[in-house]
A and B are shown apart, each in its own frame.
Chain A
Amino acid sequence: MKPFLHAEDLERHRESLVAAYDPDRVRITVCGGTGCNAQGSVKLVAALRDAVGRHGLAADVEVKVTGCHGFCEKGPIVVVRPANVFYVQVKAEDADELVRVTLKDNAIVERLLYHDPASGTRVVHEQDVPFYAKQTRVILAENGHLDPTSIDDYILRGGYSALAKALTAMRPEDVIAEVKQAGLRGRGGAGFPTGVKWELCRKQPGADKYVICNADEGDPGAYMNRSEIEGNPHLILEGMIIGAYAIGARHAYIYCRAEYPLAIEQLTRGIAQARECGLLGEDILGSGFSLDFVIKQGAGAFVCGEETALMHSIEGKRGMPTPRPPFPAQSGVFGKPSNINNVETWANVPLIVNRGAAWFSGIGSEKSKGTKVFSLVGCVNNTGLVEVPFGTSVRTIVEDIGGGTPRGRKFKAAQMGGPSGGCIPAAAIDTPVDYESLQALGAIVGSGGMVVMDDSTCMVDLAKYFMEFIQSESCGKCIPCREGTRRMKEILDALTRPRRKEGGVDALLRMQGLMQLEELAETIKTTALCGLGQTAPNPVLSTLRFFRDEYEAHLYDRQCPAGSCKELVGAPCQNACPAGTEVWRYVAHVARGEYNDAFRVIRDANPFPSACARVCHHPCEKSCRAGASGGGEPIAIRSLKRFVVDRVPASTYRPLARRPGTKSARVAVVGAGPAGLTAAHQLSLLGHRVTVFEREAVPGGMLVGAIPAYRLPRERLSAEIEELLNDNLDLRTGAALGRDFTVDGLLADGYKAVYLALGSHQSKTLDLPGEDAAGVIPGIRFLKAYNLHGEGLARGRVGIVGGGNSAMDAARVALRQPGVESVTMFYRRSREEMPAYAEEIEAGLAEGVAIEELVAPLAVHTKDGRLVGVRFQRNRLSEPDASGRRKPEPIPGSEFDAPLDTLIVAISEAPEAGLLDGLKLTKWGTLAANPESCLTSRPGVFAGGDVTTGPSTVIGAIAAGKRAAMMIDRYVNGKLLRVLPKVKLPSVFVAPAGDADDEGAPPAERVRTPHLPLAARVGNFDEVELCISEADACGEAHRCMRCDLEFTQPV
């Protein structure tokens, strides 16, 4: 091509291109970004071209490779223009169908459309995909349209017009003034005003000046610069040429990491094209201004993103930072005045010159103007490049654009700005993303990496990861960064490891370590030589600031609350079980067909295997790695347990009780619920003589009183309790505390210790007038009336207030009672936030329970002392609270009346305070007991389970009972009521089942637990959930990833 000698030549060329361009021509654009290429886009392009030819469309249809669309999660992406049909995850095999259906039949290939999980619909047009709908694409606007290998395509779409404008109609000072007025700030990190920076460099004496583009993108998980270059290289070149003109620079460098071969290829081609067109080189467009480019490939050292290190690297020296002053503007590369900006900063320049400062400053927030591209990665449904105006909230980015966190996990935090940044915790999810707001939270915009973390991420582990990164990427020059970061990393290592020895120096060192973390962080921050070092401690400071409790859990309790630190967690399933069940072990036995062994493992940890096999909320499944990091669904652990307990008779394994001896004592246990019976049973095994007092006629506590028989058959429960009794254990039913005996009396009778496991039986009230009317029933009373006495209290139209498991149980029990017309649950938050177990909610809905979400009762209407209806008000969700949950807030004027004949109030339960006379209570009205020793305010009197915690889980109560038994045993033997927390790592090797090694096999799906057909459930209390088959159990057990082997596999 002939070089353009003047701006008019360029315009003339553009006009000829526009004239030749047919906007209505059919173009199949295929994303050619690195992400899509990795997913097969190169083959796809060939297949599409082939298909177009085969269908005889070669003359009418163009297959065009464009830059990155940013929705890398769904690549390769194909858009058929001008109709804008948006296809995702297109494979080469789909090419023929795509061409035939879309272009020949004028229809749409439904299966290739984007499926929106929120609405459940398929989206046809790109702009309607939620991922794009809330973005403002300015920098990335052309990426999906432009062929990055063609300068003509760029010129056609307005390219280099900003350069022409700057060179012909603006003085360099005018360009700087425009950029300053636009409020453009550096996109590489600290956000220094770009125009001011340019001005500083312009004002330096000397004719030899440099402009540099920093394309050394090194943050883990960040790739926006890469896509910006790959998708639109000329935009960056044009920005740099304009910048060089404004600054008065003659030389330009692009420092790009060698790991970005496609970016380097596009830039190299782009520079050659621009040079050929006279847009680079001597006397550009006849303006007298000259500039040439050099691409310098970086070897990938993170520190080379730091400007002084980068410039040394350009000079061929070791990439090590030097002190500033002198600043690059004074003495930069080769000792000459230099101006260095990030890729995205340069990319903004042509847009500002073309559209004006006012347009640009109209986008964004008060002090942060324009848009920013983020690479949204991590635990988020839609990963990819997101361009939003500054000031957009983290919530919008994560939830609306990113589609929230996958697998129903909770958003925990977003790490912003890579290793130099910090995290935004869930409570601050509504923070607007701009320079100042993020800085206030200890994070930074950085270059725009945004790593989303859910509640399975351990923040100590995260900090450790970044410290590991930093300490190996530090250049090693200054002491604080080189030596300090490695010590910080070691301290974090020590925190996430079990003790080497119990107590002593090791423990002390760890304690010191946590204190030193902050001290080291402070020293590094204030004394390190360069930006990399000064920000190196940020991940630790940030996580310490928002997640200090996690650090403390690691330090004091040797626990990783997120279940992620391997050396503390061992097998996550075992770690998650409050009772410490070796889940991995019995699952392994099931896989081997060793069901008796499996039962033994279950029973060893848990005296209520059969009950837990049915009603446990299975925290083990939530933390199962097959579900979390495995990307699939967790092992159906509870169903496997059910399979084992249904198959193996309980008599197979009955732990032997020690005979009472010198170390034995008499112990009274009050309450025969899971906590009381577990404690009593464990104490009896240790040889103590235990008497259990139970107020009701049957033992079982909430297991029998609250949980309906369709979930836990009565005969299974009573058989299980029968198994727990032995010579050392005396169960007395019908004996109520306060009525038949007192704590004083027990102690006077010679009981050495008393364990209060009274449960939480007092339903909380709504505190509304009319609540005492007939037809308004407290939830627990309603359930007990039926479960213990066979009394059906519900009739007509039944309403239930509450969203927990008791409310759900009440609803489903009511549904089974004669004379009930309908059952509706009224819950103040949204359905997703209901605390009841998801499978219970589903079963309830299936059986016919209706749910009214976001409503709160205002008044109870009565007639003649009897309930006739309830007035409700609708809620909407507002600002999130500290836990990140949005608070319900009443909508004025949204009141409505619901006619009801029965209202069951199941909002929560509390202990019966009257029984706890003389013992200290907590501010929530529960019995105060030391969580470590289980001791109440009275010596010899212990407590645990729901009476101390409020309504909680079965397995939690069992764990409490086990702990109490250990403490009471220590108490009666005069030992210290304290045990150091121990890390329980898998210690027994169970060989994997023989056929476990077929790695190539597709991952099997989680087994679906069979349920009693809906029709068979009506009006009866037959067990709803059924047992899985042996084949299913075996298959499911084989899905286990065997996290234990890491610890137990013999070397």
Chain B
Amino acid sequence: MDTVTIEANGRKLEARRGEPILAALKRAGIHVPTLCHVEGLTPTGACRLCVVEVDGARNLVPSCSFPVADGMRIKSDSPRVIAARRTLVELLLANHPDDCLFCGRSGSCQLQTLSQDLGVRQRRYHGVKNAHSRDVSSPSIVRDPDKCVLCGKCVRVCEEVQGVAAIDFIGRGSHAFVGTAFDKGLNVSSCINCGQCVVACPTGALQERSNVDDVLRALADPELFVVAQHAPAVSVSIAEEFGMKAGVDIDGAMVAALRRVGFKRVFDTSFTADLTIMEEGSELAHRIANGGVLPMMTSCSPGWIKFVETFYPEFRANLSTCKSPQQMMGAVIKTYFTEREGLDPAKVVSVSIMPCTAKKFEATRPEMGRDNVPDVDYVLTTRELAELLRITGVDPAAVEPETADTPFGERSSAGKLFGATGGVTEAAVRSVHWLLTGRELEHLEVAKARGLDGCKEMRVRIGDLEVGAVVVSSLGEARKLLDQVKAGERKDIQFIEVMTCPGGCINGGGQPLGIGREAIAARMKALYRIDRGASVRVSHRNESVQRLYDEFLGKPLGERSHHLLHTHYTERDVLV
């Protein structure tokens, strides 16, 4: 490798030729604060907090974008650098609402941390603060432009990672702010509710629309029967909210904690993931056999669904008609379960715990319920669940693990794999193989579907059939693939799995904040570990699923399934 020698704070360092100063310093253990830096994206140099002193340069240089050069002498801790950084943070604070005590990001706010780290102890700059109104129009995301520091990360993530570009900078100078086209509400924008902007946001400017209070109210109402379901990716990430390291699975403790909080039943969404595989697998087999629309595309990620409806309505027929596991669970709770328990569906409150902000939107879709009763009443993100537990004083680290409730508590590890990109494909391959050949796969693990790559391609042999499958995560990747399909270049694909968020639900917009790629990899590994150690590793062996078909649904793609477990899609006309 081509290396150069630089000197940083008096110390000689090796650095890769042409790499940004920031990267070289980071490797050497020198922390340089940043607000706008996003790993993997082109530096924009907006926040200027990463400035360092370079010998010979008239001004301070931004280390995020400035490449190292041989013999370069850098100071990242000189009084000039410190004074500049401090002034910058003070300037941000001068235009900040100062309501940390009431802010959902208090404690996880990077501005707060910066201010503390730099030792800002005095309010020196005063003046007019920007005043915008909060945008609460979206069921998923609340925008508070007053707390925005204009780092632009949300804009770049939305455009560069997700290919959506629902938000951008508006206005000039100190009046500049981040907003939607024509500064309308997020709900009428092209936002697909994924919440990646929330994950990117260093402050409280972007947060999920909280349903914690609704759930607390429901739990306190003796008239109501409140049940919970939790998504596969939640149990491997929520531990981080309680100080445990990334990748610890606390499934049992979480179930116990949910009961302590007052949920009457706790179900596992992985159960309906298995159910989804039964339906979706059958659908794929049916489409292949009967010349249906191909490639078939997965439908469990609601951001992706809205993305297709908004930007690629011509692909609606390619989407699997299966509801997502959350909505399947909602549907069977409000029908089969209430019938079985003799409950009034209107008195049953169904709460789902999801790693996702788009699920909040999905739950509000008009087709997701019956007789004006929604299948899922409230969606809590992983973060909101942690908040709920803290409010109610339940420490998941201090409870004995318990198992989920029947009838929807049993799951195969295939269903659990839904939490990571490639998981749906892997689960589907396992079951479709059985569906079509009647035999189990020899090697259950589909290595090509695993890992954090944004686009993974594979050809899968199922008996006589060879299926081309592509697994993409992030809508930017999805867009690339769709454009190829649209151009007729991908006749080789029959199946496409799309997860809205890069890496899948383990990196969903509702997951614990302030984590890096390593944490996401650890969450992923946790899911694979669970799969490795599981006794039931294929969806079609989930006995509760089989019982559900026997007692209630009939068979996959049957009439009852069709009514309860399948849905349809609409073209969305948005402003931009």
User: Which of B124-132, B193-201, B451-459, B499-507 forms part of the interface with chain A?
Assistant: B124-132
A575 in contact (CB, < 8 A):
no
A443 in contact (CB, < 8 A):
no
Q: Which of B67, B92, B168, B175 has the most CB of A within 10 A?
A: B175
Also in contact, A519 and B87, with CB within 8 A (given A473-B172, A474-B174): yes
301-340 of chain A: CB within 8 A of chain B: 301, 303, 318, 320, 322-323, 325
Minimal beta-carbon separation of A468 from chain B (angstroms): 10
Q: Which of B49, B65, B171 has the most CB of A within 10 A?
A: B65
Also in contact, A478 and B125, with CB within 8 A (given A471-B174, A483-B94, A534-B59): no
- A485 near B173 with CB under 8 A, answer yes
- A487 near B84 with CB under 8 A, answer no
Which listed residue, A320, A512, A523, touches B88 by the CB 8 Å rule? A523
- A485 near B174 with CB under 8 A, answer yes
B176 in contact (CB, < 8 A):
yes
- A527 near B126 with CB under 8 A, answer no
- A476 near B171 with CB under 8 A, answer yes
- A-side contacts of B169, CB under 8 Å: 318, 320, 476-477
In the bound assembly, the distance between CA atoms of A377 and B377 in angstroms comes to 69
- B91 near A480 with CB under 8 A, answer yes
A475 in contact (CB, < 8 A):
yes
Chain A interface residue count, Cβ-Cβ cutoff 8 angstroms: 37
A993 in contact (CB, < 8 A):
no
Which listed residue, A325, A477, A526, touches B59 by the CB 8 Å rule? A526
In the bound assembly, the distance between CA atoms of A914 and B51 in angstroms comes to 66
- B172 near A478 with CB under 8 A, answer no
Also in contact, A479 and B92, with CB within 8 A (given A490-B128, A527-B48, A527-B84): yes
A642 in contact (CB, < 8 A):
no
- B174 near A529 with CB under 8 A, answer no
Also in contact, A478 and B46, with CB within 8 A (given A473-B173, A526-B84): yes
Minimal beta-carbon separation of B341 from chain A (angstroms): 56
- A486 near B48 with CB under 8 A, answer no
Which listed residue, A470, A483, A528, A529, touches B92 by the CB 8 Å rule? A483
Also in contact, A323 and B45, with CB within 8 A (given A479-B88, A482-B150, A526-B60): yes
- A-side contacts of B149, CB under 8 Å: 479
- B48 near A480 with CB under 8 A, answer yes
Minimal beta-carbon separation of A507 from chain B (angstroms): 14
Residue of A nearest to B53 (CB): A526
B262 in contact (CB, < 8 A):
no
- A-side contacts of B106, CB under 8 Å: none
Binary flags per residue of A444-472, CB closer than 8 Å to B gives 1, else 0: 00000000000000000000000000111
- B176 near A476 with CB under 8 A, answer yes
- A-side contacts of B176, CB under 8 Å: 474-477, 482
Minimal beta-carbon separation of A465 from chain B (angstroms): 15
Also in contact, A509 and B48, with CB within 8 A (given A318-B169, A474-B174, A476-B173): no
B43 in contact (CB, < 8 A):
yes
- B-side contacts of A471, CB under 8 Å: 173-174
Residue of A nearest to B155 (CB): A318
A520 in contact (CB, < 8 A):
yes
- B48 near A528 with CB under 8 A, answer yes
B47 in contact (CB, < 8 A):
yes
Binary flags per residue of B45-81, CB closer than 8 Å to A gives 1, else 0: 1111101000000011010011100000000000010
In the bound assembly, the distance between CA atoms of A382 and B60 in angstroms comes to 42
A365 in contact (CB, < 8 A):
no
In the bound assembly, the distance between CA atoms of A509 and B174 in angstroms comes to 21
Residue of B nearest to A302 (CB): B172
B30 in contact (CB, < 8 A):
no
- B-side contacts of A482, CB under 8 Å: 150, 173-174, 176
Interface of B is mostly: loop
Residue of A nearest to B171 (CB): A476
B152 in contact (CB, < 8 A):
yes
In the bound assembly, the distance between CA atoms of A325 and B64 in angstroms comes to 11
- B-side contacts of A529, CB under 8 Å: 45-46, 48, 62
Also in contact, A484 and B91, with CB within 8 A (given A478-B46, A509-B126): yes
A516 in contact (CB, < 8 A):
yes
B44 in contact (CB, < 8 A):
yes
- B125 near A516 with CB under 8 A, answer yes
A666 in contact (CB, < 8 A):
no
Q: Which of A472, A484, A486 has the most CB of B within 10 A?
A: A486
Q: Which of B66, B95, B125 has the most CB of A within 10 A?
A: B125
B399 in contact (CB, < 8 A):
no
- B62 near A472 with CB under 8 A, answer no
In the bound assembly, the distance between CA atoms of A483 and B87 in angstroms comes to 10
Minimal beta-carbon separation of A463 from chain B (angstroms): 17
Also in contact, A516 and B174, with CB within 8 A (given A318-B169, A529-B48): no
- B45 near A526 with CB under 8 A, answer no
Residue of A nearest to B93 (CB): A483
Minimal beta-carbon separation of B281 from chain A (angstroms): 44
- A-side contacts of B91, CB under 8 Å: 479-480, 483-484, 487
In the bound assembly, the distance between CA atoms of A528 and B84 in angstroms comes to 10
Chain B interface residue count, Cβ-Cβ cutoff 8 angstroms: 39
Residue of B nearest to A523 (CB): B87
- A476 near B175 with CB under 8 A, answer yes
Minimal beta-carbon separation of B72 from chain A (angstroms): 13
In the bound assembly, the distance between CA atoms of A528 and B127 in angstroms comes to 20
In the bound assembly, the distance between CA atoms of A480 and B60 in angstroms comes to 12
343-365 of chain A: CB within 8 A of chain B: none
- A-side contacts of B95, CB under 8 Å: 483
B83 in contact (CB, < 8 A):
yes
Binary flags per residue of B21-57, CB closer than 8 Å to A gives 1, else 0: 0000000000000000000000111111101000000
Which listed residue, A472, A478, A480, touches B175 by the CB 8 Å rule? A472
In the bound assembly, the distance between CA atoms of A478 and B59 in angstroms comes to 15
A525 in contact (CB, < 8 A):
yes
Minimal beta-carbon separation of B146 from chain A (angstroms): 14
Which listed residue, A318, A322, A473, A487, touches B45 by the CB 8 Å rule? A322
Which listed residue, B51, B171, B174, B175, touches A527 by the CB 8 Å rule? B51
Binary flags per residue of B118-146, CB closer than 8 Å to A gives 1, else 0: 00000011111000000000000000000
- A477 near B127 with CB under 8 A, answer no
Also in contact, A472 and B60, with CB within 8 A (given A478-B48, A486-B127): no
- B-side contacts of A322, CB under 8 Å: 44-45
Which listed residue, A301, A323, A490, A523, touches B127 by the CB 8 Å rule? A490
- B-side contacts of A320, CB under 8 Å: 169
Residue of B nearest to A505 (CB): B126
Minimal beta-carbon separation of B90 from chain A (angstroms): 9
Q: Which of B60, B127, B168, B172 has the most CB of A within 10 A?
A: B172
In the bound assembly, the distance between CA atoms of A484 and B124 in angstroms comes to 12
Residue of A nearest to B88 (CB): A479
- B44 near A487 with CB under 8 A, answer no
- B-side contacts of A528, CB under 8 Å: 48
Which listed residue, A323, A476, A487, A534, touches B43 by the CB 8 Å rule? A323
- A523 near B83 with CB under 8 A, answer yes
In the bound assembly, the distance between CA atoms of A529 and B64 in angstroms comes to 12
Minimal beta-carbon separation of A176 from chain B (angstroms): 26
In the bound assembly, the distance between CA atoms of A528 and B60 in angstroms comes to 9
- A477 near B43 with CB under 8 A, answer no
In the bound assembly, the distance between CA atoms of A471 and B127 in angstroms comes to 14
- A-side contacts of B174, CB under 8 Å: 471-472, 474, 476, 482-483, 485-486
Q: A473-B173, A523-B88 are in contact. List 17 more A-B contacts (CB 8 A).
A: A323-B44, A323-B62, A325-B65, A472-B174, A476-B172, A476-B175, A478-B47, A479-B49, A482-B176, A483-B91, A483-B94, A486-B173, A487-B94, A519-B83, A523-B87, A526-B80, A527-B48
Nearest first, the 4 closest Cβ-Cβ pairs linking A and B are A476-B176, A323-B45, A483-B91, A486-B174
Q: Give B residues with C-beta under 8 Å from A.
A: 43-49, 51, 59-60, 62, 65-67, 80, 83-84, 87-88, 91-92, 94-95, 124-128, 149-150, 152, 168-169, 171-176
In the assembled complex, 14 residue pairs joining A and B whose CB atoms fall closer than 8 Å, in A order, are A323-B44, A471-B174, A474-B174, A475-B173, A476-B169, A476-B176, A479-B149, A482-B176, A483-B91, A486-B128, A516-B125, A520-B87, A523-B88, A526-B80
